[in-house]
Structure 1
C-alpha cells in the first residue's frame, strides 16, 4: 500500500475470499492482497487502516448472488467501508440445465440482489467473464435490463472478453449505457499450445502485459471517453512479466498517458 500510494495510485480494489494456500504464491492461490471472507466483519477496521490514503472503488467478492448470506455480507461490508460497489461472480449452467433455465434463475437472483443493494445503498456489479452466462456486453445487458442502474451495474473487463464475449469495445460500451459502472483492464493473447496428430492447431489464451494483447488499449480509452465514462479503471495485470513494484509503476505511467491522450483531465 505504501508503494502504491507513493507511485500515485488513487485506489485499490481488495480481493475478498478465503485464501487458498500455495507454496508458491500466484494470483489465485496464496495471493497476499486478499482479505478472508471468514470473519470479514471483524477485519473491517484493519482494512480501513491498511487502505488509509487510498480510495476503495469496489470490493472483489468471490460469491454469486445465489449465495445469499455471503452476498448480503459483502454488500454490508462495502457500505461500512464506503467502497460503494461489489463485484459478484458470474455463473454458468449446472449439470442438466439449459442456458435459458440458468439465465432465468440468474435473473431472479439479480432481482433479489438489486433489492438488497438498494437497502445497503451500494451497487452490485455483474462482471463480464468468460465461461459464464454473461461473457459479453450484450448478454449482460439482457440480464440486467429493467433493473435500477443506481444499484445494479456491469463491470466491463476487456481482457476477459478477449477470451470469450468479444464485441467491438465502442459498440459494447455504448450498448451498456447507464449500466456501465466499472472497468477492469488486463490483456490477453492467443498462443499456439499444441499441434494435434492430424495437423490441427490448438490455441490457448495467455495473460500478457497491457501493451501486448488482443485488446488495443489506446483505442479502448478513446471509446471510454466517447461514452462519457468518468468512473474507475482497475488494473489486473496477470502477466507477471516484471516484479510487482516495477509492473505497477509502468502500468500507471502507461494508462495515465492513454487516459490523457483520450481527453481525460487527471489533474
Structure 2
C-alpha cells in the first residue's frame, strides 16, 4: 500500500480556489499546492485573502501541501533581481505560515551561460536561503526546469548536495525531463540521481519527438509512470505526489506560459485536462495494486 499523499496545483484547474477544492474532493485528493489564485501569484495577494483561501481549503478537510513559488527564476548576474528574490522567499515563508504549508518550490536562475561557470554562485545563493527556511521550519524544494541552470536531476542533485543544508532538498518532476536539453531519461536516471534528496514530487507527462516536446495526459507519454509509481511504493516514499497538468485539450500552452505559469490565460481549459490526468493517474495506481492511504 502506498504511503504517499496526492495533490494538484490549483491553477492547473482554475484561478478560482473553489473549483480546485471541488475537484480535489471529487477525486479524494489529500491536498492542494498553490501557485496563482485570482489571477495573481501568491506573493501578490493580501494577507487577508490568503487567510480566506487557507480557511476554505482547511474547512474542506484538505491540506496545503506546498507553494509553487517563482523564487530564483531571475538573472543570477543581476544583484538587484537576486536581492528581490531573497525578499520574495521571505514573503513566501510568511504565506506558508498562514497556510500551514511546509514546502516552497524554487529554481536555479535563468540559464545564460554554462552551468559549470555559474555553479559556485548558485550554491552560494541557495545557502543564503537556509536561515529563513530554518526560521520558518520550511523545506526549499529545488526543481529542474529547461529554462534555468539545473535542467535535470543530475544537476539539481549536485546543487542540493553542495548546498548541504537540511532545509534544502530536491523536487523530482520526471515530466520536466522531457524538455531537458541534455536528454536525461526521466526514470530511472532522473530518479536515481535525486533519490537520496527527494522531498517533493510533481507529475506531468509528455512526448518528445525530433527535439519537440508536447505535453499529454498522464500515462499517455514517455515518462513511464507505471514502473516509477511501483518503485515509489516499494521504497516507502511517504511525501506528496502532486499533479502539475501542463496540458490542455483544445489548446497548447505557449513556451512563455510554461516558463512563467500563472494567471487566467494559463488556467483556461485546465479543469478538463486535469480531470483527464487525475483519472489516468488513479487508474495507473489501481493497475499497479496501489491504494493511497
TM-score (norm 1): 0.79
After superposition, the Cα gap between the structure-2 partners of 1:158 and 1:43, relative to the gap in structure 1 and judged at 3 Å, is same
Q: State the Cα deviation string for residues 19-58 of structure 1 (Å, max 9, x = none).
A: xxxxxxxxxxxx8575442244343212212323211111
Alignment of 1:61-80 (within 5 A): 61-64=69-72, 66=82, 67-80=85-98
- The yes-or-no answer on 1:101 pairing with 2:117 is yes
Q: Matched residue of 1:57: which SS?
A: strand
After superposition, the Cα gap between the structure-2 partners of 1:263 and 1:39, relative to the gap in structure 1 and judged at 3 Å, is same
Q: Distance in 1 between matches of 2:198 and 2:65?
A: 14
Residue of structure 1 in register with 2:212 after alignment: 204
- The yes-or-no answer on 1:14 pairing with 2:49 is no
Kindly state the Cα deviation for residue 84 of structure 1 after the two structures are TM-superposed.
Answer: 0.2
Q: Matched residue of 1:56: which SS?
A: strand
- Max Rg structure: 1
Q: Distance in 1 between matches of 2:278 and 2:39?
A: 18
Moved more, 168-177 or 228-237: 168-177
Q: Matched residue of 1:213: which SS?
A: coil
Instruction: Mark the runs of 5 or more structure 2 residues left unpaired by the alignment.
Output: 1-20, 74-81, 251-268
Q: State the Cα deviation string for residues 216-242 of structure 1 (Å, max 9, x = none).
A: 111221232244312111112222127
- The yes-or-no answer on 1:160 pairing with 2:176 is yes
After superposition, the Cα gap between the structure-2 partners of 1:48 and 1:168, relative to the gap in structure 1 and judged at 3 Å, is closer
Residue of structure 2 in register with 1:56 after alignment: 64
After superposition, the Cα gap between the structure-2 partners of 1:34 and 1:228, relative to the gap in structure 1 and judged at 3 Å, is farther
Q: Distance in 2 between matches of 1:210 and 1:32?
A: 27
Q: Distance in 1 between matches of 2:119 and 2:100?
A: 31
What value does the CA root-mean-square deviation take over the aligned residues?
2.6
Structure (1/2) with the larger helix percentage: 2
Instruction: Mark the runs of 5 or more structure 1 residues left unpaired by the alignment.
Output: 17-30, 192-201
Q: Which has the higher contact order (CA 8 A, sep 6+)?
A: 2
